Structure 1
């Protein structure tokens, strides 16, 4: 009788472990922003291109370059150096929705001065 009970539990155990592995992998696919940036919402049907340089601007003014915190005064030089190596690289700006527009525009001006001609503002979809 004990052997039959073990035979019935084994497939259930396998399914539980497969689900555990699935959720561990799926959880890593959506990495949160290191600064806790919450981009504004939009209804754009086009997903953001993940290629290029990503700049994050948090609500408290902290800045990150490709998920690595950086000082604001060093940002222009760092972006400029990267764009000199790869001139047509797109630059994505992930700014927090709670920021005043003037602060976002100031950072956009800094990025344009660094040579970012393909500048995109990242938003999150309100659909689904």
Structure 2
């Protein structure tokens, strides 16, 4: 007695690549959205070069100071008086909050000192100045 095997028709291979393309498109969408969630820079800032090669910590509230003296908190422009008020509110909510000042290396040093004084008056005790690593 002879059994006949039923041959399965072979596909063109598109069925095996379809899940892969779905995964690739999902990853593409994920990274497009994740890239937009990063906090934008309010100004084009070139921090001064550091003599230390230690990596800066990224936690805490970032205050940006442009070369022209403009101030921003997490990408939103503020003036010096509003800076003290907004940082004070944040510190009141979280007393252990670390502050990171990203100042342009070409900016006025007296403006940097004024911003640091405003942060101190707001209650900031932990302040890090952001610099770039030496080449």
Same fold by TM-score greater than 0.5: yes
Structure 1 Cα separation of the partners of residues 54 and 38 of structure 2: 19
Contact 2:103–2:112 (CA under 8 A) maintained in structure 1:
yes
Which runs of 5 or more structure 1 residues have no equivalent in the other structure? 1-16
Q: Give RMSD over aligned pairs.
A: 3.2
Aligned position for 1:123: 131
User: What TM-score, normalized to structure 1?
Assistant: 0.72
Equivalent of 1:44, from 33, 49, 53? 53
SS in 2 for 1:76: helix
**Alignment length (residue pairs):** 126
Structure 2 Cα separation of the partners of residues 92 and 79 of structure 1: 11
Aligned position for 1:104: 112
Structure 1 Cα separation of the partners of residues 85 and 103 of structure 2: 20
Give the structure with the higher percent helix.
Answer: 1
Equivalent of 1:70, from 74, 78, 93? 78
User: What TM-score, normalized to structure 2?
Assistant: 0.68
SS in 2 for 1:124: coil
Query: In structure 2, do the counterparts of structure 1 residues 65 and 114 end up closer, same or farther at CA, with 3 Å as the change threshold?
Result: same
Query: In structure 2, do the counterparts of structure 1 residues 47 and 29 end up closer, same or farther at CA, with 3 Å as the change threshold?
Result: farther
Structure 1 Cα separation of the partners of residues 74 and 89 of structure 2: 14
Query: In structure 2, do the counterparts of structure 1 residues 54 and 26 end up closer, same or farther at CA, with 3 Å as the change threshold?
Result: same
Aligned position for 1:61: 69
